[in-house]
Amino acid sequence: MNYMGLDIGDKNIGIAISSGIIAQGIGTYRRSEYEKDISHINGIIRDNKIGKVIVGLPKNMNGSIGFQGEKVIRFCEDLKNILDEGIEIEFMDERLTTVLANNFMLEADMSRKKRKNIVDKIAAQIILQDYLNILNK
């Protein structure tokens, strides 16, 4: 089965894919209009024959779902409505994944400009890899 990881933000959506072992960040989609955003993600899902989408769910540090988490859930509900039958969406706790992504890039001595352009892609890759690590235990 092919998997997709998403880090959904207000401005960007980080995207990663995997055939089941290693997650690979494939890009950052700059959001424009809500319906176009959903259609774009659906196109990537179809093109890559994705069977399961793993979405980072932002939670507050106490574990509750806040405003940003509700927006992500709503986006996924709308995405699910247009997906081909059988494609699943599952949420993963994404607390601190962006911090972790930034730390990786700082250790790699990346410039601030380059970090800004790929942080969402790296966060999506971390979300998906965390899921795969649990799956493959």
Grade residue 71 by pLDDT with cuts at 50, 70 and 90: very high
- In the chain, the number of structural domains is 1
Structure confidence by residue, pLDDT tens digits, 41-63: 999 999 999 999 999 999 888 88
Q: Where are the alpha helices (DSSP H) in the chain?
A: 34-47, 67-82, 97-107, 112-135
Domain of residue 37 covers: 2-135
Cβ(52)–Cβ(1) under 8 Å?
Answer: yes
Cβ(105)–Cβ(119) under 8 Å?
Answer: yes
Q: CATH number for the domain including 24?
A: 3.30.420.140
Q: By percentage, how much of the chain surpasses pLDDT 70?
A: 86
Structure confidence by residue, pLDDT tens digits, 14-39: 999 999 999 999 999 999 999 999 99
Structure confidence by residue, pLDDT tens digits, 115-127: 667 788 989 999 9
